[in-house]
Structure 1
Amino acid sequence: MYDSAPPAAPKLNSKGIMATDITQQFTAAAEQIDLGQLIKDPFFTLFESVGALEIMDPKMDSGFLEPGETMEDNYDYSAVLLPEEVLGIIDQLLSHEMAWHMGHPLSQTIFTSLYIDRILSPCPLILDHTLFDRSESAPSDEPLTLQTLRAYCVGLIKTCHYVNSRVKAEHFYEEEDFVTHTYNRNLLEAIDHDSIVDLLETTANLLSGSDIDPDLKYALRSRLELRAVFLKTVEVADSRSATETKGLWEELLSFVPMLKKTHNLGKAVPQSFSVKLQRKLASTIPPRPIVHVSLDAAHAHFEKLCRDGADCLQVFDYRDSHSLMTFVFLFQSRKPQPSVYIRTLLQHYLFGDMIVLGSMSIRQILDDDLGSTVLPADQLLDRDNDEIEVPTDPRFNMAASMEIFRQRAAQSYLDILRTICQNRCRIRRTLCHSIVDWDNLQLDSEELDQELRQFTKEQPIVDRSLSNEPVYEFPLSSWAYFYKLRQMEWIVQLGFELEIYQHDELAGMYWYLLQLSKTRARHLERIRGFVMRKYSTFRRSPSAGTVEHQQFTKTLALLNYSMLEATTTYGFADALSCLFAALARLALIPIQPRPYGDATMRYEVRMKPFHGIGLPELVSFDEFTRQVEQPEDDILGLLSYAMEAAAGAKKGLEVMSKLKAEEAFCQGSQESWVKNVKEGLKACIFTNITIATVKKAVEAAGESGTVKLKVDIPPTGKGYHDWWVVPKVTAVA
């Protein structure tokens, strides 16, 4: 079928056409093209390229038949299957179902089953229409083994319907994340859910009273029970009932040991799956092979699906907006990342029907974030302002201006959470567009801040050491600037995780991360100064209450933690930037040839996401190069500075690892948060060791000696932390 020999030249008997073999001329011309060079005829259109596809090519033509091959599979659906054969088919269907969850289309997984095709073609409206044997001679009582398989298949199809509907209802990327295409097949939408569950339970009870081998009986019955629980889980999951759904996910998880223990009892029936079924599907794509996922891999994916489904429900335990964002970010950064179905469930819990977590309004969570970041116990967030109807009252105008701000900021804020729910590549790509919107939000908020001053009667800070002009708080724009900086840091850090940067670019990108985190730390210090000023005024007030005091305490705790995290980040980034700069000077990091660009062009490409941002401003390429390479310092000076920065980052990480959940604003995800911090701490310790090794080798080599070291940069997943790329340095003879 896949003979590599070229076909013979066509024999055309026509006076108007003369065929010429141009193979040699074409090969000779192709050999003259440089690697990477592209030759394109501007007049060769898409229509012509599609027309060039060869008919009767088995790789492109789904209707192509080998000699003696028939269009249909001559499969006997009335044949009674052995129990071990039913078990083998069920396990293969579970494997295909997990392959579908991994991102493969139904046409290459579940829809390759002849039994699934028998049920769906034609579209059944009641359970009696799902029988395999539809001949006139079919027995009145369906054999138990066929009933067992049919019940499982019907439950599987209905499960796929719920999963497919949930994924399509949320934000995802077709083909990239998940394939929802059903090829014009109806996934039993018309058949009642309860009737399918009853069929599964009735069949399981019949199996209990049968004379099948006890081990096989246990394996088959357990799989029917698993399918019934799975069906109930995906049906209940949409209702946002955390307690009931979590119990179902945990019950599902309890079936995994049984699957692993009994899968060897089954007997494979490969003839019950066929790639020919793709010809019957409403599809324009060429035929594709059946996707085969091993049972071990399928069981592992199923187990992770259940664990992630149960853990996902912890999002309903809302404590504060920052803990919520921390939970979502850490949950989505799991390795491997949660499946698309779980990620869309999380989106549904967060934003379904525009109600956050099923009980909170968008205003509640937005005001919570504003209050805990920049406006603790502030009159701008007072709900009583909404009751004022006198246009001349300052509270009426404050409420109106704040509502304008909420309408502008709510979508941008929720988009952060929605973006984090995507795959890792899409998170970074979407953030590159999102920061532009936050930059515009910051500018809009500055105007609102200025308008609100006349109603709040804010008194500026007059400090000649800071500025010759009076300094105002600008709370709304400060909040927007804080989140814009945070997202800019994520873009750079995800670049390390996704291995976007070349090895010789790591010094520069860690330097830019250092600048972003240092800017955020300074901005947090500014916010903290204004909050402390308001807190001092509040404590002197005779009407100071306990609730307001708690709000100030919470905001100060958040600012202190955020400053600790920011200073730790820029210290660690500074250490790695200096380390990679020193290794580059020692010529220990090879630079790959780049015939199509230079350093200036690469700098423009790396900084392209930030070109449209007003603040912080980008430095010029010359200044960037000078700051990264630090030509005024020698190598030993660079390494000494790197050791000091790494030691400071290590202390910061050690302090963070000992914080309580409420102090680190990671309530609901403390275990994952501590694990993330400790991985960063390990990377920091390893950085210290690497710097000391390089410094020792440089001192041993002297001024004119050659440093005898070998540098290996681990790929993503092989180091201690994906955001901190620490080179491995070994001595060579």
Structure 2
Amino acid sequence: MEMLTISDLPGGDNFQDVTNIFVEAAAEMGPGDLILREGFTLQDAMSAFEIGEPRLDSGMAGDADQRPPFDIWTPLLPEEICWIIDRSFTLEMLWHAGNTLAHTVFTCLYALIASELHPDMLPYGLPNDAQRPPQLVPVVLRASICGMLKCCDLSWRELSKGHVHDKIGKVTKGDTSLLEGMSVQNVIATLDSATAWLVRSRKVPDPWATALIARLNLRKALLQIMDANIFKASTDFLTLVNVARNHFHTVRTYPSPEPAAESPARLAFDPYIARKLNSTVPIRVIDVPSVTEAWRSIDALLDGWEEQRLLSLTANVSTWEAIFGPGSQFRRCERRTLALRRRHSVFYDGLLVLNKFNLTWVIDRFFFETLGVSYQSVYHFVGQNSRSQRPPPWADIQRGHFKAGSSLLMTEYIRALWYNPCRRRRFFMKSLVDLHIYYTRLTEIVANLPENLPSTNVMKHLPACALVWRLSVIREVVLSGFQLELYTSEEKPFAYWYASQVMDAHLACLDAMLLAVEPDSLAARELRFQHSLLSALQAMTIPLFALSIPLMSFAWRQMHANFVRRYKWAFGRGYELSVVPVVAAPDFDRFTDTCGRVMQDKTFSPSASFDLAYSILVQLIESRAVGGYAGLWTNERIHLLQNLADACERLQNPLIPSSMARLPSFDTGLFKWDPQIHPWFPVLDQEGAERRQNRRVRPVEP
């Protein structure tokens, strides 16, 4: 190897050592001191660290990132066009999953130059290859890419309107075009022209002509669905979904082969394109899954749109809550796509509910679906029978001098059911104060009614409407802590105990309401189902509380400090506005007393409690008495019950003590909380139990 001399170095050999200059200049500075010139910002400081770091410096390209030049007019085979279109579908689904455009859709280089791919700009002198018609790129591929960009544009508009609340809501678009200035009808005309060219020209033989036409038609159908108003023509919306399913089936019948390593089609995708875009996110290369995953996402997208149409025709607010409320994480369709996220905008768009009702309608449904009476009936009864000289606080209930009136609070609650688990839990915690104030107002109204009002009169149970709602939210907040893995081992006993106390108050409330509600009404059937479900859940949480007591350190002072931090949402300043005591507030002193009593209760059987919960759940499943407001989604509710029954069955184990007297011999370390298995309840580590049993049993020496 030829050795380099000083004269060969860049800049020549006229270098001088300036180290002493910097040493002298910094002589009076201490360790950690920093001198900032005027105008020096945090971004300037971060830029100093970015330079030379490939993961942060979006402008740096290493030797391994060098790639051959990309020519947009390179003729391609029909199967290569199919492969590019399929990969574009995959990238689009990755964006809907919450990744950035710069790392997904824009890595397709044709998406960045769609405006330059017009057929009139096709250069002369391209080779006349019958297998690679030059029009495939500017006609067929351009139409598909324009359709994809327009779909992304319509999705982006949903983001801008605030109709999507999930990871995708924080994605940055930059200044790259999504064909915002091109109308949907023009894009559809481009897709139709490409389809007509494939049919008329006959330059693409079967089966690839059929495969390309199916892909163009699928893109057209998806674009029409995204642009459609589901309320204006519900039947047409369903027709579009069915048309998309037909084209989707044809696309899957004609899969595209993986191109060869030297194929120019592979140059159409650059995972490092973000370094050339106006993007503020670091480079991140996403592993693009197989096209099979994209087809699954599109299948879920179509399912979501079909369900969205059914929901748009559902005028029972309780149905929305029953489907997507507490326990909705057990639903079989858990693939969160764009259609699944934007359904809450179908319920309430910020102005109207279900595109035709005002907010007063929500409070009317609230009373009717809970007690079977209309808001007008409640209003007139209270007005005629109130003993107070002051008018009832209906204005406070409807509009609210607190954070939100009951109608708006309920609509926001329904919308929050589509939040991700963390954000949904935060919303629920913040809403508990408003729900208590709402409960207080109804309590004040009932307190001014005649004292001899019988328990069978529904008007006596008006506060219960808000109370059961609030208790349901508290239950979700507490149990979701297991799903999010928030609790330490020492906190789990209190969480299960508190959940059981909340359910106990909820059951008492339901018992009182069932005395007044018409037995054959839909509201009564829903209350009976909730009563059975809560009974089963309580029968599972109580033994788990008792069995997990050994997980605590019994350092009460430290545990109380942790308790205050974990349940600070229950002691907010807003509660001081109410003179009505909070129902089912977390009580640490009562918890410590209960721990002592349950340890001494030799009659309590954890295993029998699990058996009781399992029998209740199985009876509900077999009788299919889940009715209520589930409606067309009865099978989803049965799936919820089956998941709970499976969790209970996993806890029906011979290792579970049959009495508290056997608790000292039970190894609580066998409990394993895994949200992938069940978000709320643990399983027993059978392998760990066998290993420990083998360590205990040793062979007897002769």
Q: Same fold (TM over 0.5)?
A: yes
Kindly state the Cα deviation for residue 350 of structure 1 after the two structures are TM-superposed.
0.0
Q: Offset of 1:575 from its aligned partner?
A: 2.6
Give 5+ residue unaligned stretches, structure 2: 1-14, 26-30, 400-404, 576-580, 695-702
1:114 aligns with 2:76: no
| Partner amino acid, structure 1, of 2:110 | Y
Q: Distance in 2 between matches of 1:217 and 1:488?
A: 57
**What's the offset of the Cα at 1:173?**
4.5
CA displacement 1:75-112 (0-9 Å, x = unmatched): 22222112122122112211111111111111111112
Query: Does residue 98 in structure 1 map to residue 58 in structure 2?
Result: no
Is the Cα–Cα contact under 8 Å of residues 493 and 544 in structure 2 kept in the other structure?
yes
Does 1:191 pair with 2:188?
Answer: no
Corresponding residue to 1:205 among 196, 210, 219: 196
**Is 2:269 the partner of 1:273?**
yes
Kindly provide the amino acid, as one letter, of the partner of residue 117 in structure 1.
Answer: L
Q: 2:224 aligns with which of 224, 227, 232?
A: 232
Q: CA 1:632–1:188 in 2, change beyond 3 Å: closer, same or farther? A: closer
Partner of 2:582: 615
CA contact (8 A) 1:510 1:576 kept: yes
* Residue 358 of structure 1, CA deviation: 2.5
CA gap of 1:80–1:317, structure 2 versus 1, over 3 A, is same
Which SS does the other structure have where 1:495 is aligned? helix
Per the TM alignment, residue 204 of structure 1 is displaced from its structure 2 partner at its CA by 2.0
Residue 599 of structure 1 corresponds to: 559
- Larger mean CA deviation between 85-94 and 557-566 belongs to 557-566
Q: Is 1:432 aligned to residue 429 of structure 2?
A: yes
Contact 1:80 1:146 in 2 (8 A): no
Match of 1:159 in 2: 151
| Compared CA separation, residues 372 and 55, structure 1 to 2 (3 A) | closer
Residue 18 of structure 2 aligns to a residue in which SS? Answer: coil
Is the CA contact 2:108–2:268 (under 8 Å) kept in the aligned structure 1?
yes
Structure 1, unmatched stretches of 5+, are 1-9, 21-25, 27-38, 122-128, 386-390, 464-470, 533-548
Equivalent position to 1:653, from 617, 627, 631: 617
- For 2:5, the equivalent position in structure 1 comes to none
Per-residue deviation, residues 208-256 of structure 1 (Å, max 9, x unmatched): 3524342222222211111111111111155564332233234333444
Q: Find the counterpart in structure 1 of residue 681 from structure 2.
A: 724
Structure 1 residue 686: Cα displacement: 2.8
When residues 73 and 646 of structure 1 are mapped into structure 2, their CA distance, relative to the original with a 3 A threshold, is same
Secondary structure of the residue that 2:632 maps to in structure 1?
coil
TM-score, length-scaled by structure 2: 0.80
Contact map agreement 1:104 1:178 (CA 8 A) in 2: no
> C-alpha separation between the residues in 1 aligned to 2:670 and 2:150?
54
Residues 344 and 415 in structure 2, CA contact (< 8 A), matched pair in contact too? yes
> Structure 2 vs 1, CA of residues 715 and 237 (structure 1 numbering), >3 Å: closer, same or farther?
farther
RMSD: 4.3
Counterpart contact for 1:568–1:652, Cα < 8 Å: yes
AA aligned to 2:172 is H
- 1:289-688 aligned at under 5 Å gives the runs 289=285, 292-318=288-314, 320-329=316-325, 334=331, 337-339=334-336, 341-352=338-349, 354-374=351-371, 376=373, 380-381=377-378, 401-402=393-394, 404-407=396-399, 408-450=405-447, 453=448, 458-460=450-452, 475-529=461-515, 531=516, 553-581=521-549, 584=550, 598-612=558-572, 614-616=581-583, 618=585, 620-628=587-595, 630=597, 632-633=599-600, 637=602, 640-658=604-622, 663-687=627-651
Give the C-alpha shift of residue 600 in structure 1: 2.6
Report the Cα distance in structure 2 between the residues aligned to 1:228 and 1:14, rounded to whole angstroms. 66
Once the two structures are superposed, what CA deviation does each residue of 1:109-147 show, in whole Å capped at 9, x if it has no partner? 1112221111157xxxxxxx7459465878999613441
Does residue 253 (structure 1) correspond to residue 248 (structure 2)? The answer is no
Aligned partners of 1:703, 1:53: CA distance in 2, in Å? Answer: 57
Structure 1, 722-731 or 112-121: larger mean CA deviation: 722-731
Could you tell me how far apart the structure 2 residues matched to 1:76 and 1:632 are?
76
What CA deviation, in whole Å up to 9, does each residue of 1:384-417 have, x standing for no partner?
99xxxxx99999x999854542222111111210
Pairwise CA distance, 1:619: 5.1
Distance 2:233 2:65 in 1: 53
Q: Secondary structure at the match of 1:477?
A: helix
Cα pair distance change 1:417/1:19, threshold 3 Å: farther
Equivalence for 2:674: 715
Q: CA deviation at 1:377?
A: 6.1
Task: Quote the residue 1:34 is aligned against.
Answer: none
1:420 is aligned with what amino acid?
L
Matched AA of 1:421: W
Scaled by the length of structure 1, the TM-score of the pair is 0.77
Equivalent-residue separation in structure 2 for 1:362 and 1:625 (angstroms): 44
Q: How does 1:66-145 map to 2 (within 5 A)?
A: 66=62, 74-120=69-115, 130-131=118-119, 133=121, 143-145=135-137
Aligned to 1:535: none
What do the CA deviations read for 1:449-479 (whole angstroms, capped 9, x no partner)? 45xx4xxx6343599xxxxxxx996644332
Structure 1's 703 and 423: CA in aligned 2 closer, same or farther, altered over 3 A?
Answer: closer
Alpha-carbon separation, structure 2, partners of 1:165 and 1:728: 48
Please give the per-residue CA displacement for 1:45-65, whole angstroms capped at 9, x wherever unaligned. 845742532424333333335
Distance in 2 between the 1:489 and 1:221 partners? 52
State the one-letter code of the partner of 1:81. L
**Secondary structure in structure 2 of the residue aligned to 1:16:** helix
Measure, in 1, the Cα distance between the counterparts of 2:22 and 2:537: 72
Give the direction of change, closer, same or farther, for the CA distance of 1:340–1:181 in structure 2 (3 Å limit).
farther
Question: Which shows bigger deviation, 480-489 or 498-507?
Answer: 498-507
Q: 1:13 maps to which residue?
A: 18
Query: Quick one: distance in 2 between partners of 1:404 and 1:707?
Result: 53
Provide closer, same or farther for how the CA distance between residues 361 and 271 of structure 1 changes in structure 2, counting only shifts above 3 A.
same
CA contact (8 A) 2:503 2:534 kept: yes
Give the count of matched residue pairs.
644
* Contact 2:647/2:683, CA 8 A, preserved across alignment: yes
* 2:618–2:645 Cα contact (<8 Å) kept: yes
Secondary structure of the residue aligned to 1:285 is: coil
Alignment correspondent of 1:3: none
Listed one character per residue, the Cα deviations across residues 642-679 of structure 1 (whole Å, up to 9, x for unaligned) are 23322332332234324557733211210100111122
Q: CA deviation at 1:696?
A: 7.3
Assess if the C-alpha contact under 8 Å between 1:713 and 1:727 holds in 2.
yes
Amino acid at match of 1:154: C
Distance 2:120 2:43 in 1: 43
SS at 1:288 equivalent: coil
Looking at structure 2, the residues matched to 479 and 697 of structure 1 have their Cα atoms a distance apart, in angstroms, of 38
TM-aligned CA distance change 1:434 to 1:346, over 3 Å: same
Paired amino acid for 1:298: A
CA displacement at 1:483 relative to structure 2: 0.9
How many Å apart are 1:309 and its aligned residue? 2.1
Q: Say whether the 8 Å CA contact 2:671–2:683 is kept in structure 1.
A: no
Counterpart residue type for residue 694 of structure 1: I
SS of equivalent residue, structure 1 residue 359: coil
